[in-house]
A and B are shown apart, each in its own frame.
Chain A
Amino acid sequence: MPQPQLERLAIEDVSKVYGDHVALRDFSLDVAGGEFVALLGPSGCGKSTMLNCLAGLVPLTSGRISIDGDRIDPLPPERRRFGMVFQNYALFPHLNIGRNVAFGLESRRVARSEIRARVARALGQVRLEGLADRYPSQLSGGQQQRVAMARAIVLEPRLILMDEPLSNLDAQLRTELRTELRRLHQDLGLTTIYVTHDQSEALSLADRLVVMRNGVHLQIGTPATVYTEPADAFVAAFMGYRNLIPARRRSARDGDVIVELADGVTMRGVDRGASTDEQVVVAVRPSDFTVVPAAGSDDEATGENAITCTVRVVEYQGEESAVEAEAAGGLRVHFRTTERVATGERVAVHVDPSRLLVFAADA
């Protein structure tokens, strides 16, 4: 039954102001039917606010939300026919699991026999058969999370909203349920908007990512685009570019730029909007550095695009080690390597120019 119930959800110039705090500023987003969109961003950036505006739980300050051309923002939440999964699940503690899942169907005056059949099916879909008579307090966190899912999907909503649904679970359960969510989405084809501050969750689940900061979106794109071509240094940081090194732009050549780090080392990288500015930020993922032989005691770096540094901290992580090293001028460099390095050792790390991104320095 993968068959989206809406063609297009349009969020246009939505703003939300709390007192004198702007939680959302002119936010616009188009969502196609059946799409899985993740809103990603640090705490307090307005993700929940956006979701609550969509659900009708907080009124908009300005802007429009429409589905297939019909405005829905004046509708109260109970008339929007959306499903919502809350961060703390919000299961009704006085109702058993069956009644929790049946709640929305009962509100819609669905016939008893149909309610029973649909509740059973929904509980099956989240693999909770046989728990209908338990109360929420008698379930584990993961089970409660599944009940919250079942309660939302049983209504076959035209849009399903999830606010950090996995953040209260432990790491293992989180990856397990992540797969489950993906499977449910594939089976049911429900248009989904998913809020998270966990980049790996967003990358693995979503068809499209919206990276937010301070109430505005910085980048919208497929996981691959956002991951490999972050729009700015902030998005890069969020996508795992742990090395963000201030530098000066020297020259540009066929889309590449040459930058000079604080200690005079020059490096070549991809221009990501730094062309007009002298002050830039260089972004490199720890896994994009490779360890190369250091040039003896010579302070100058060996070869092109390499930094010589002294290993300070080694975190053993199984296959690899995560290393923090110090280069000249107190610069901290983070890299990952399968080679064995020891604290105090001098190494040089190299990065391919295509993997070194140069952004305009953030104001």
Chain B
Amino acid sequence: MTIAGASERPVRRAGGLSLTSIVLVVVLGVFFLNLAALILGVVLNSFATSWFGSLVPDGLTTRWYAYAADTFQLLDVLRVTFTVGAAVVVLSLLIGAPAAYALARRQFPGKRLVMLLFLLPMLLAPITYGIPLATALYQFDLAGSLAGVILANLVPSVPFVILLLTPFIEQIDENLERAARMCGASTPRVFAKILIPLMAPGLLAAGLLVLIRVLAMFELTFLTAGPGEQTLVVALYYTVFAAGIRPTQAIDAMAVIYMLTAFVPLLVALRFVNPTQIVARIKQENVR
């Protein structure tokens, strides 16, 4: 009776790996192996005294990080990056969450049109609207300023927040709000005591994901930032271009720092949400 309980795969026959499974494992394995090697190469190079054509660097050092901090005004860049990141997260939550609430709770004429307005920025590559947007911002003297960079980054972030939060709010039972009102709570109190606490996980996840997107958003920042408002990605792009005169190790040190800034919020976000759920929600909304 104590036959080892194999894990259950509905329908499929028990025993043995099928050929397709092996092929898939190989495909995924090769992909991740190459990716890991790619990242490891960058990390290793950032610590290399020198590395040219051999399997591993000649020696290890940490001085490129100090060098990068000096030459690339890393502290300034980090400050700008996180100012932009924080501002975009806060603003897109403040603007997106109420809209998501209205969309989740009301059916009204013209809703499809509003949804389309909120979806379009996600169905177009940023550079497409980035160029007219940058041009328009120049007109208002906003390009090349911190405000301009933040405004530009709000364009994809607000729809993203709405898309993430609408289904999240839909699954919060509306009767909870009604019950609170029956108990005499005013609208602000309903928000403060019922909705915000219930939405907290969703807000947190959405905020972190927006942060990750802003950190990685090259095109919009690149098109709207002046020399003083470069975020880390954009600074990285420029240093790669100024290569030749810069040691590659310093560029890679910068890349490693960028990678860390993006990974930390991601790892935090993953504690709160299951990755397939994130995209499943986006997809569900898109389908309609």
Name A's B-contacting residues (CB within 8 A): 15, 17-22, 25, 57-59, 61-62, 76-77
Question: Is B124 part of the binding interface, using a Cβ–Cβ cutoff of 8 Å?
Answer: no
In angstroms, Cα B5 to Cα A61, docked, is 8
Cβ-defined contact, A57 with B5, below 8 A: no
B11 within 8 A of partner (CB): yes
Residues of chain A with a CB closer than 8 A to B1's CB? 15, 17, 22, 25, 61-62
CA distance A20 to B2 in the complex (A): 8
Residues in B whose Cβ lies below 8 Å from that of A58: 8, 10
Say yes or no: A62 contacts B5, CB within 8 Å: no
- For residue B271, CB closer than 8 A to chain A, the reply is no
Query: How does the 8 Å CB contact mask read for B1-40 relative to A, with 1 for contact and 0 for none?
Result: 1110110101101100000000000000000000000000
Q: Is the CB of B10 within 8 A of A57?
A: yes
Q: Across the interface, do A76 and B13 meet the contact criterion of CB distance under 8 Å?
A: yes
**Complex interface: chain B residues within 8 A of A25 (CB):** 1
Q: Once the chains are docked, how many angstroms separate the CA of A21 from the CA of B1?
A: 11
CA distance A15 to B3 in the complex (A): 10
Once the chains are docked, how many angstroms separate the CA of A293 from the CA of B21? 76
The contact string, 1 if C-beta is below 8 Å from chain A, for chain B 259-276, is 000000000000000000
CA–CA, A76 and B6, complex, Å: 17
Q: What are 6 A-B interface contacts by the 8 Å CB criterion?
A: A18-B8, A19-B5, A25-B1, A58-B8, A61-B1, A61-B5
**Nearest chain A CB to B260 CB, angstrom units:** 39
Docked-complex contact B5 and A17, CB < 8 angstroms: yes
CA distance A77 to B5 in the complex (A): 21
Main SS at interface, chain B = loop
Q: Which residue of B lies closest to A61 (CB)?
A: B3
Residues of A within 8 A of B14 (CB): 59
Return the chain A residue nearest B2 by Cβ: A17
A-B contact count (CB 8 A): 27
Distance in Å: Cβ of A65 to nearest Cβ of chain B:
15
- Within the complex, which residue of B5, B6, B8 is in contact with A20, where a contact is CB–CB below 8 Å? B5
**Which of chain B's residues has its CB closest to A25's CB?**
B1
Q: Tell which of B5, B11, B13 touches A18, judged by Cβ atoms closer than 8 Å.
A: B5
- Cβ contacts B62-84/A at 8 Å (1 or 0 each): 00000000000000000000000
Interchain CA distance A312-B178 in the complex, whole Å: 36
Closest B residue to A60 by CB, please name it: B14
In the bound assembly, the distance between CA atoms of A213 and B242 in angstroms comes to 75
Q: How far is the CB of A56 from chain B (nearest CB, A)?
A: 8
B11: which A residues are within 8 A, CB to CB?
Answer: 57, 76-77
Closest CB-CB distance, B254 to chain A, in whole Å? 49
Instruction: Return B98 CB to nearest CB of chain A, in Å.
Output: 32
Contacts of A61 in B (CB 8 A): 1, 3, 5
**B8: A residues at CB distance < 8 A:** 18, 58
Question: Bound complex: CA of A277 vs CA of B57, how far in Å?
Answer: 83
Provide the bound-state CA to CA distance between A246 and B285, in Å: 58
Q: Give A107 Cβ to nearest chain B Cβ, in Å.
A: 14
Cβ distance B288 to chain A, nearest Cβ, rounded Å: 15
CB nearest neighbor in A for B4: A17
For the complex, give the distance between the alpha carbons of A44 and B11 in Å. Answer: 21
- Whether B13 lies near A17 (C-beta < 8 A) is no
Closest-CB distance, B203 to chain A (whole angstroms)? 33
Question: Which of A21, A62, A76, A77 sits near B3, CB closer than 8 Å?
Answer: A62
Measured in the bound complex, the distance between the Cα atoms of B11 and A18 in whole Å is 16
Given contacts A59-B13, A62-B1, 5 further A-B contacts (CB under 8 A): A17-B2, A25-B1, A58-B8, A59-B6, A61-B3
Cα of A22 to Cα of B1 in the assembled complex, Å: 9
Q: Which residues on A sit within 8 Å (CB–CB) of B3?
A: 17, 61-62
With A and B bound together, what is the CA distance between A22 and B3 in angstroms? 11
A62, B14: Cα distance in complex, Å: 13
Residues of chain B with a CB closer than 8 A to A76's CB: 11, 13
Q: Which residues of B contact A18 (CB under 8 A)?
A: 5, 8
CB distance from B267 to the nearest CB of A (A): 30
Q: How far is the CA of A26 from the CA of B6 in the complex (A)?
A: 18
Tell me how far the C-beta of B248 lies from the nearest C-beta in chain A, rounded to whole angstroms: 52
B284 to chain A, nearest CB (A): 15
In the complex the two chains form, what is the Cα distance from A15 to B5 in whole Å?
11
Complexed CA–CA distance, A17 and B14 (Å)? 14
A25 to B11, CA, bound (A): 22
List the 8 closest pairs (A to B, CB-CB), nearest first: A59-B14, A19-B5, A17-B5, A61-B3, A18-B5, A76-B13, A15-B1, A57-B11
Q: Which residues of A contact B6 (CB under 8 A)?
A: 59
**Which residues of chain B come closer than 8 Å to A17, judged between CB atoms?**
1-3, 5
CA distance A57 to B6 in the complex (A): 14
Q: How far is the CB of A163 from chain B (nearest CB, A)?
A: 14
Chain B hits for A19, CB < 8 A:
5
CB neighbours (8 Å) of B2 from chain A are 17
Give CA–CA (A269, B94) in the complex, Å.
Answer: 74
Bound CA span A76–B8, Å: 15
Return B5 CB to nearest CB of chain A, in Å: 5
Whole-angstrom distance between the Cβ of A47 and the nearest chain B Cβ: 17
Roughly how many angstroms separate A57 CA and B12 CA in the complex, as a whole number? 8
Alpha-carbon gap, A59 to B12, bound state (A): 9
Q: How far is the CA of A62 from the CA of B2 in the complex (A)?
A: 10
Residues of A within 8 A of B13 (CB): 59, 76
Q: Which residues of B contact A20 (CB under 8 A)?
A: 5
Task: Give the distance in Å from the alpha carbon of A77 to the alpha carbon of B14 in the complex.
Answer: 12
- Across the interface, name the chain A residue whose C-beta is closest to B7: A19
Task: Kindly report which residue of chain B lies nearest to residue A77, judged by CB atoms.
Answer: B11
